[in-house]
Amino acid sequence: MNFTTIRWDRDEGVLVLLDQTRLPGEVVYAHCRDIESVAEAIKGLKVRGAPAIGVAAAYGVVLGVRKSGADEYLSFSREVDEAVDLLAATRPTAVNLFWALERMRRTALEQREAPVEDIKRALLREAEAIQSEDERTCRLIGEHGAAMLRSGQSVLTHCNAGALATSGVGTALAVVYQAHNEGKRVHVYADETRPVLQGARLTAWELAQAGVGVTLICDSMAAQVMKEGRIDCVIVGADRVAANGDVANKIGTYGVAVLADAHDVPLYVAAPFSSIDLSIESGSEIPIEVRNAAEISQGPGGRNAPEEVEVYNPAFDVTPARYVSAIITERGVARRPYAESLAALSHHAWQPAATG
């Protein structure tokens, strides 16, 4: 990839994020020097996609406590809690955010006997570990998923679950990149993904950069494109997967899943274990973020809708597990019934990447 979605600048102590609100027009990097700017970047979608949000939030905690003058664990831990709470309030749906923040809180707790400056160093090491594990996880998801694709096949995807959504090569798109690297001819149909256009602005951009064939369609065209026999499978990412295999992902995924079912097209979800929330039984427990009206009523050319019109803008939906043909994780591929297969994979021995 000739871009870097997230980078921690060790010399400057700055989190550098590719500002995704400016793509595809401009490749501009945002420099976050404090926790507030990280929280704003997550809320404002400069950094987005479940794994990338988790990684950014981990570094946000590092920035939030680095100037702490606390001289013992108890007062330092209160500052860690404040940092975690601030970041946890940014976006509610992607569980990776809460998973990463919990790892950071636990790291501080485990180091409670150490001097505060050592705890700060341990927090930075943990954020770096979360990031490097994410890179490796993406590669493994790609390898497991690519085995399911044959040369000449076409994949429909929704939103962006690629390198822009992770620290590595993505989740859904990792499968495509891996198949492409193995020499398979794979073509992607990218839904534009109203209202924020992650498909048009981000997925089409990164696939084109990587030299993978991509055709952009409006969301409303997916049914026709499937009916024309152009799609062999759908691959999407996830923001949170419940224990029963229900999947929260970008708004519109549920509709695509119903269409895929109607056209006998398999739908695969590619997601790291950090997106799987075994603490909830079903998707009905997943909080769905509702974003502001302007994302729908304002376009780049001005207003799309009359000022007075009421707008409802849920950013995610939940696809029932019955529409999901398989869940591709770094630990292997889960199939129905997911309550059993996901639980089994959760016990699977898995070594996180070694970190320096």
Residue closest to ligand MRU when measured from CB atoms = 237
The whole-angstrom separation of Cα 229 and Cα 189 is: 12
SS3 329: strand
Neighbour-count burial of 348, counting CB atoms closer than 10 A to its CB (0-12 exposed, 13-18 middle, 19+ buried):
exposed
In the bound complex, what is the minimum distance in angstroms from residue 272's beta carbon to ligand MRU?
Answer: 8
CB nearer to ligand MRU: pick between 144 and 250: 250
For residue 239, indicate whether it is catalytic: yes
Question: Any idea what the Cα angle at residue 129 is, between residues 126 and 130, rounded to 5°?
Answer: 90
Q: At 98, which amino acid appears?
A: F
Q: Which of 191, 239, 246, 277 is catalytic?
A: 239
CB nearer to ligand MRU: pick between 111 and 167: 167
In the bound complex, what is the minimum distance in angstroms from residue 117's beta carbon to ligand MRU?
Answer: 34
Chain positions contacting ligand MRU, by CB under 6 A:
48-51, 94, 159, 161, 165-166, 170-171, 198, 237-239, 249-250, 315
In 297-341, DSSP assigns E strands to: 298-299, 302-303, 316-319, 326-329, 332-334
CB nearer to ligand MRU: pick between 35 and 42: 42
Residue 133 is encoded by which pair of tokens?
């594990």
> Which positions ≥6 away from 292 have C-beta within 8 Å?
313
In the bound complex, what is the minimum distance in angstroms from residue 327's beta carbon to ligand MRU?
Answer: 13
CB nearer to ligand MRU: pick between 35 and 236: 236
Cis amide linkage into residue 272, ω under 30° from 0: no
In the bound complex, what is the minimum distance in angstroms from residue 253's beta carbon to ligand MRU?
Answer: 7
Distances (CA, A) of 123 to 8, 69, 80, 291: 13, 16, 10, 31
In the bound complex, what is the minimum distance in angstroms from residue 25's beta carbon to ligand MRU?
Answer: 17
CB nearer to ligand MRU: pick between 154 and 198: 198
Active site residues: 239
